Amino acid sequence: MEQGLEVVLTDLQSSQNNVRHHTDEISSDRLLVRRGQSFNLTLYFRSRGFQPDLDNIIFVVETDDSVYLDSEPQRQEYVVNDYGFIYQGNKNWIRPCPWNYGQFEENIIDICLELLDKSLNFQIDPATDCALRASPVYLSRVVCAMINSNDDNGVLNGNWSENYLDGVNPAEWTGSVAILKQWHAAGCQPVRYGQCWVFAAIMCTVMRCLGIPTRVITNFDSGHDTDGNLIIDEYYDSTGRILENKKKDSVWNFHVWNECWMARKDLPPGYGGWQVLDATPQETSNGLYCCGPASVRAIKEGEVELNYDTAFAFSMVNADCMSWLVYGGKEQKIHRDTNTVGNFISTKSIQSDERDDITENYKYIEGSPQERQVFLKALQKLKAGRSEDPHQADSQYSTPEPRSGDGLRGLHTPSLRPSDVVQVSLKFQLLDPPHMGQDIRFVLLALNMSLQFKDLKVNLSAQSLLHDGSPLPPFWQDTAFITLSPEEAKTHSCRIPYSQYSQYLSTDKLIRISALGEEKSSPEKILVDKIITLAYPGIIINVLGAAVVNQPLSIQVLFSNPLSEYVEDCVLTMEGSGLFKKQQRVLIGVLKPQHRASITLETVPFKSGQRQIQANLRSNKFKDIKGYKNVYVDLML
């Protein structure tokens, strides 16, 4: 009788397989393969070789690639690319923030697997958790909850207080690798601190590392509707300044989340593809601070009852905004705006440094019949769901009334519909680009559209905002008395000196100017505001010579102090996957007023291909002067 086969050695051909599976940057001696793609291995037998006519070997492999993207450029961008841009600022001034995702860097794969093992799901029932990890829907919810630390020892502590003395200001981070490695090195204790873009960037790194196509999304004027009625309530005083919201509804100047690509077999057909996942701890979902996956198509169509957290995601891009005037202990409705929330929804373009506007994926054109129909459908679905709860009052739901029906009227945008019977309009206009360290000069343009004389009293104010919409106390106020002839336009000039606003700025560098106007002969009030983001001059990075693997490379960094005062405690940080083994920190010390400086660093690239250098300069006066440089690294000269 022929002796049976006895396997003595298995060669997983890790090096060759990993190249074909685009995991060779992670490791060449550990087998790392992707779903749905073949790989080779070699078996060595004791005593005799394999005989095809006699021997039979059966391999059982189960691969259900429910995250497959059929576009190679999309796979390169959303799985393989290890750097990108996160868009910040406001809808009138969108700026790219460079980020090092670094999903292929040393130990990141092990840290991502450790993150899964630290989840509450694994701690409670390891066997079930591991069995469910093949489901991207399940896995994405686990990762989403583990990025924040509200329920567990997740990766990041969130902080929106402007007090970061016991950690790192979120604006200073330029990449995920340093954060994940710090979390691991500290025994999986949360890293201080993060805000929405940091949560989303970390999640992008983890999901791309685990092979799930992921991109980072920024929504400008993003709604945070805490009571689920699709209305964001905002309160103003008689000077036009925004008040702290007692209901905690807010409109964030921008908010950042993720989209992950996956099949949704748990939903009706047609709702697979891109799914919203939001790791920023805002509201709980099934008892944990996570959000999603919510089908982007379901959001656009108002199917808010579909799993998971689709109603909350819908409100972020399509809630209505209600403005209230607070005076004498009373609240009076100024205006209901159906267009404010959800603008310029942005992500990095495929294989390009350009911004891709994907707003049409989330909503029909603002003001179109389809958009209003979807809003009302979503509202009715939410109302039906809440009516099943006897503790919920129906009165919180209402359909949008015509803007021209309000006794008090606010204009958040200069455009007017024909149905608006508005006789006077107000609009802000900047006279210079708003640069940090310089005075802010602007005018208030008043236009009389009637055939009567108009006497206006306008209260103006300025206050800093956090990017989540939270207001800080006002630091500038003015009053203007403007008399307008029929169909006349006049301007009122304003200036806010740097010396006046500098001490009141938040890290977000956002200033909200507002005006509340009233006519002597009419009860009509007009509210207008404008968000200004103050800009810094960026860091300039020059690569001196050709970049070649394992060859020294000199990098020149040019930066400046934009202020007319000394700044202290200056620190320059630089990183870049495949270029630096770890984040570089250079102590600069003191910079004189308006002083320009340069330093030259040397590094040795260790990976070929397209790379990016990210840099940040912080001081006691500013935290996030950014810069980046794309570098192509050759294998050899």
Place of tokens 């077999």: 265
Contact 496, 462 (CB under 8 A): yes
Q: Which of 21, 184, 224, 255 is catalytic?
A: 255
Contact 199, 490 (CB under 8 A): no
> Is residue 234 a known part of a binding site?
no
Q: Which of 97, 112, 188, 196 is catalytic?
A: 196
d(CA 560, CA 113): 41
d(CA 316, CA 397): 17
> Is residue 366 a known part of a binding site?
yes
DSSP letter for each residue of 76-127: IIIII--EEEEEEEETTEEEEEEEE--TTSTTHHHHHHHHHHTSHHHHH-HH
- Amino acid letter, residue 509: K
Burial of residue 309 (CB within 10 Å: 0-12, 13-18, 19+) is: buried
Contact 23, 105 (CB under 8 A): no
Q: What are 262's strand-pairing partners? A: 273
**Torsion of the alpha carbons at 110, 113, 115 and 121, rounded to the nearest 10:** -160
> Is residue 318 a known part of a binding site?
yes
Which strands, in side-by-side order, build the sheet including 320-327? 231-236, 320-327, 330-337
Compute the chain's Rg from CA coordinates.
28
Residue 82 CB partners (closer than 8 Å, separation 6+): 25, 100, 101, 102, 103, 104, 105, 208, 577, 578
Residue 196 bears catalytic tag: yes
Which strands, in side-by-side order, build the sheet including 424-430? 424-430, 440-448, 489-496
SS3 of 166-206: CCCCHHHCCECHHHHHHHHHCCCCCEEEECHHHHHHHHHHH
> Is residue 371 a known part of a binding site?
yes
DSSP secondary structure code for residue 352 in this structure: S
Exposure of 546 in the CB half-sphere (CA atoms within 13 A): 9
Q: Which of 278, 309, 337, 508 is catalytic?
A: 278
Residue 593's CB is within 10 A of a number of other CB atoms, namely 12
Which strands, in side-by-side order, build the sheet including 525-533? 471-484, 454-465, 510-519, 525-533
Q: Which two tokens stand for residue 35?
A: 């779903």
Tell me how far CA of residue 335 lies from CA of 85, 426, 525, in angstroms.
36, 15, 10
Q: Which two tokens stand for residue 197?
A: 């873009």
Residue 255 bears catalytic tag: yes
- The pairing of strands 440-448 and 489-496 is antiparallel
DSSP secondary structure code for residue 308 in this structure: T
Q: Which two tokens stand for residue 58?
A: 């059966």
Q: Which two tokens stand for residue 270?
A: 């047609």
Cis peptide before 308 (omega within 30 of 0): yes
Which of the residues are catalytic? 196, 255, 278
Binding-site annotation, residues: 318, 320, 366, 371
Binding-site annotation, residues for Ca(2+): 318, 320, 366, 371
